[in-house]
Amino acid sequence: MDNDKAKAETYHVPVMPGECLEGLDIKPDGIYADMTFGGGGHSSLIVSRLSERGHLYGFDRDADSEANAIDDARFTFVRSDFRYLANFMRYYGVDSLDGVLADLGVSSHHLDDEGRGFSFRYEADLDMRMNTRGGMTAADVLNTYDEERLAAVLRNYGEVKSAGRIARAVAQARAHRRLSGVADFLEVLRPIVPPFAEHKELPKIFQALRIEVNDELGSLRDMLAAAIRLLKPGGRLVVMTYHSLEDRIVKNFIKAGNADGSVEKDFFGRTRTTLRPVNTRVVVPSDEEVERNPRSRSAKLRVAEKL
């Protein structure tokens, strides 16, 4: 397991590992799903607490993460978008789960990989796909979406104030040439995003494109709906979010069992609820963890129990 830990932390440093394990309240004979396997940091810790009868399914749609798969009979790697949780549990003959963990957002591996186009720091093709086997790229979005649709992506997924101006500038630029690389896009953005604002605005712009390319919010909604159905009574849902869009969806599911937070009531006016919040206040990383791993700064951990 020490080897697994070193390999995992090279790929992605697991955030709040102790708090996640506490939230899952692991039963040695339990069946669990890690929806964001990545480097396997959280998964390795979960597997170490399982008996021979326990099992963990680790999901990841990125082929790179499969190299980190844990060589253990108690672990199964599932190369898939986590929105297909229910399909794969049915395939493996799993009727119910004792716990589901999801560490959302983009991994350090993606941000630091100079060839994937996730970061504005490196010149690369504008790809941004978690699963490089298919689907549209960020370049496809920039070159094919009309102004209104592109502005909506930037506004809704990045809360970018200059979304309209950026969409207009992109439309004008692509009329002369295809925007293929990070440098092409930055050239369009420079007249709109001043140097003093780049550190704040560029991450939001790239986040918006990444969310659109990977349908991250749609996948999250599908996964949470499946997780709620699959969890046993007393089973735990543990989710870490990194921006307000994800967090709002998770909060709504915990509160009402659906993405929009609409509460259903029974004949007597009592609220129908499927989950009980375990931590009434959101859990955040300690100052020491943030100092050790600055990328954990924006993490919010929510834990709920199936009723």
Known binder of ligand: residue 4? Answer: no
Q: How far is CA 173 from CA 47, 169, 191, in A?
A: 51, 6, 12
Known binder of ligand: residue 103? Answer: yes
Residue listed under structure tokens 């940091």: 41
Give the span between the Cα atoms of 221 and 65, in whole angstroms.
23
CA-closest candidate to residue 301, choices 5, 2, 12, 21: 21
Bridging pattern class, strands 275-277 and 75-79: unpaired
Known binder of ligand: residue 60? Answer: yes
Known binder of ligand: residue 82? Answer: yes
Known binder of ligand: residue 235? Answer: no
Sheet harboring 75-79: ordered strands across?
75-79, 55-60, 31-34, 97-103, 231-241, 300-306, 275-277
Known binder of ligand: residue 196? Answer: no
Known binder of ligand: residue 42? Answer: yes
The secondary structure of residue 62, as a DSSP letter, is -
Q: Which residues contact 81 (CB under 8 A, 6 or more apart)?
A: 59, 61, 130, 131, 219
Indicate the annotated binding residues for S-adenosyl-L-methionine: 40-42, 60, 82, 103, 110
Sequence ranges of the binding site:
40-42, 60, 82, 103, 110
